[in-house]
Amino acid sequence: MAGARAAAAASVGSSTSSGHPPPQEPGLGELLEEFSRTQYRAKDCSGTGGSKVERIEKRCLELFGRDYCYSVIQNVNGDICGHYPQHIVFLEYESSEKEKDTFQSTVQVSKLQDLVNRSKTARCRGRFVCPVILFKGKHICRSATLAGWGELYGRTGYNYIFSGGADDAWADAEDITEEDCALRSDTHLFDKVRGYDIKLLRYLSVKYICDLMVENKKVKFGMNVTSSEKVDKAQRYADFTLLSIPYPGCEFFKEYKDRDYMAEGLIFNWKQDYVDAPLSIPDFLTCSLNIDWSQYQSWDLVQQTQNYLKLLLSIINSDDDSGLLVHCISGWDRTPLFISLLRLSLWADGLIHTSLKPAEILYLTVAYDWFLFGHMLVDRLSKGEEIFFFCFNFLKHIISEEFSSLKTQRRKSLPARDAGFTLEDICMLRRKDRGSTTSLGSDFSLVMESSPGATGSFTYEAVELVTAGAQTQAAWRKSHSSSPQSVLWNRPQPSEDRLPSHQGLVEAKSSSSSSSNHSDNFFRIGSSPLEVPKARLAALSERETRLQEVRSAFLATYSSTVGLRAAAPSPSGAIGGLLEQFVRGVGLRGTSSSAL
């Protein structure tokens, strides 16, 4: 493992550019073209397209190195996970130019890599808990959900019969023995596998786990192929703060495309049979947000995404020193959506990646958060499920100071005052954002599936590790005199400025087998969703300016490379296709990544 700053710098020396970069980030067009051509697989990097992927990875390491000292978890040829970067960045602390020359790792890299290898089996497709953002010494992590009985035994059995099969990331005979597989009771195996997952979470000082799944367990052909922390019968994750914040899967974004890329008024159908995960947030996390969470099923896609982002920002801006994990099912659609929005929002406030320009942060989040973590853009484009485009087009909805972590910290430090407007408030008044006009409080509480006598019954092999989170926090405090605080938003939200042409909200039914086109019921605003925003005469805040620049750069490059595509018809329901769907559904084979 390359844990030293010198080793990391040497690996990217050839890719470091001199001078100021041009407005268009070099390689962004090439990145999007490669992204739209094939799905990233770590083991394929040595082929014909390997040189392109290597340039992308080196560029990411160089951009991370501008502001951070980091270690690297080696994943060459996808030995740990087939759809994770070959060089997984472990950010340790913010750094200056002088500190980069004297970098000393604060973690035991070899033990961290060993723990990652052991814990990967606990999660769907081997997509283990991976730290991707460092903010105030806290790790913001991503992963897939927990693997269920169907995937765990199905995948290990598949790898046992077909050695070196479709997904090498799961070929791990040391962690799952024949004795484990022979046990009809899942308890011993789950105790061992999930025990290592818990060890990794604690090593990263993660306390908050946000689950975006709309299901408690993912079911394919009557088999539970995945599970989740919130329904773990043995309550192994009871020491963590679990949040169930169900968010529509990538299939729903076919409706977004069919409505000419208009998210306003698009509501997910919560009455579908497979949707069984209620929204569940501990009360202490909702008291500072002016959101009525009981109305979440009536929110359109804009409101829902805004409110969930506010919640995540509130958690990471709290006084708590604990980290955050965000995951969906596979961790490559909904998860990068919120990870990317978090990274861009914090960057726009000047709180992370402080030296990166708009084109550079755009390149980093597209390449690292989406491409190198395995988002299947080729497949999603062929089906019209454009969640990737939605992410960056959505930046126009989070430009206000309402989403600013910087203003949150500033307001908490100011003395209490009346509810009147200050000169600063008047100067910052802009067009009202769509959001919730609701009251404080929540009637929801943490829901856990209980199993009598199961609590405390599991054991697992101890791994001697010093918590990385504590060391990271100590390093962060050396360069920061005080910890930024959170804020209580007491001022009521303005009323929503809905367009009069809209006759109300339309509830769109989302289904993997069928979808309805609502484009006849709505008209488009502007000539094209790819239209680059024009400069306005009114003065913009620095946050708004930065996010608008990122969005404009994305739209310009996206239109010249990928563009807006028509959805291809779904394959016929032939026997061969049904069997292929089953194989993919239980995780035995990856989705095809053939070019369009």
Res 471 pLDDT > 70: no
User: Is the pTM of the predicted complex or chain greater than 0.95?
Assistant: no
Q: Which of 250, 328, 391, 427 is catalytic?
A: 328
> What's the pLDDT tens digit per position in 144-183?
999 887 666 655 544 443 333 333 333 333 344 434 444 4
Range ranked top by mean pLDDT from 45-59, 287-301, 561-575, 581-595 = 287-301
Catalytic residue list contains 60: no
Number of Cα atoms under 13 Å in the Cβ half of residue 596: 21
User: For 286-357, where are the alpha helices, taking DSSP H only?
Assistant: 301-316, 334-348
Contacts of 57 (CB under 8 A, 6+ apart): 85, 86, 87, 367, 372
> Bigger pLDDT: 260 or 479?
260
pLDDT digits over 535-556, tens only?
554 678 899 999 999 999 999 9
* Average pLDDT of the chain, as a whole number: 73
Among left, alpha and beta (phi > 0; psi -120 to 50; other), residue 263 is alpha
pLDDT value of position 98: 62
> Which residue(s) pair with 326 in the sheet?
142, 210
Q: What is the pLDDT of residues 89-112, one digit of tens each?
A: 999 999 866 666 677 777 888 889
**How many whole angstroms separate alpha carbon 130 and alpha carbon 90?**
8
What pLDDT was estimated at residue 48? 52
Whose structure tokens read 């006598």?
Answer: 453
How far CA 284 is from CA of 107, 281, 416, 443, 490, in Å, comes to 32, 8, 22, 11, 16
Nearest to 338 by CA among 370, 363, 367: 370
Which one has a higher pLDDT value, 403 or 170?
403
Of 263, 261, 264, residue with least CA distance to 502: 264
Average pLDDT over residues 415-428: 41
DSSP tag of 492:
P
User: In the chain, pLDDT over 90 holds for what percent of residues?
Assistant: 48
CA distance 312 to 339: 10
**Segment 29-87, tens digit of pLDDT:** 999 999 999 899 888 776 555 688 999 999 999 999 999 999 999 999 899 999 999 99
Q: Is the dihedral of CA 249, 89, 543, 36 positive or negative?
A: negative
124-148 burial, b for 16+ CB within 10 Å, e for fewer? bbbbbbbbbbbbbbbbbbbbbbbbb
What token pair was written down for 135?
A: 């903010």
Contact 116, 141 (CB under 8 A): no
